[in-house]
Amino acid sequence: MRFITNYELIIPLDIDNGIIENAYICTGHSPDFDEEFLDLSIGIDDVQEEHPMLICKENPKQQLLLYPLSYFYDDQMTRQMELYLYDGLERKKGDVKRLDFLNIRDGQKFPVTETDDNIDLRELFDAFRRILEILLSGE
């Protein structure tokens, strides 16, 4: 996993015509994210605003999309930034019964499950479930 040190974690904020114009740069040990102007061409079709990705420092064309394994949420009303990380699943008779994510905010961790009534996360759960169905169909 040493290769990962060559990458920066970014969260695109503004994307226009295949260019990430602004993003949070989430490297280091600071609890705050720094917003920076990037002007970075996107090499991945599925990149959307607020979907975390890794960018190689030496070659920015090397990009790895982390969504839906991780999801960034910036609550505009409370100005609170949250990160959701995939934390596991429960299967029953080969089907995915429940997805689990870990919500990280203010330095604390909170478990979140697909069964929780959270409309803001429905897109995340649905996207992750679609990918899992493709991966598990090969069993």
| CA distances in angstroms from 34 to 27, 68, 125, 136, listed in the order given | 9, 22, 27, 38
pLDDT digits 0-9 by tens, 13-39? 899 988 999 998 887 666 667 788 988
Report the pLDDT value the prediction gives residue 20, as an integer from 0 to 100: 92
Average pLDDT, integer, range 3-19: 86
Report the pLDDT value the prediction gives residue 90, as an integer from 0 to 100: 84
| Among the ranges given (34-38, 59-63, 115-119), the one the predictor scored with the smallest mean pLDDT | 115-119
Is 80 exceeded by the pLDDT of residue 86? yes
Rounded to the nearest integer, the mean pLDDT of the chain is 80
Q: How many CA atoms lie within 13 A of 32 on its CB side?
A: 4
pLDDT digits 0-9 by tens, 125-134? 888 888 777 7
Dist CA 98 CA 135 (whole Å): 16
Is 70 exceeded by the pLDDT of residue 139? no
Of 107, 134, 106, 101, which Cα lies nearest the Cα of 120?
A: 101
| Among the ranges given (54-58, 82-86, 116-120), the one the predictor scored with the smallest mean pLDDT | 116-120
Report the pLDDT value the prediction gives residue 29, as an integer from 0 to 100: 63
Average pLDDT, integer, range 61-73: 82
Report the pLDDT value the prediction gives residue 109, as an integer from 0 to 100: 86
Report the pLDDT value the prediction gives residue 30, as an integer from 0 to 100: 60
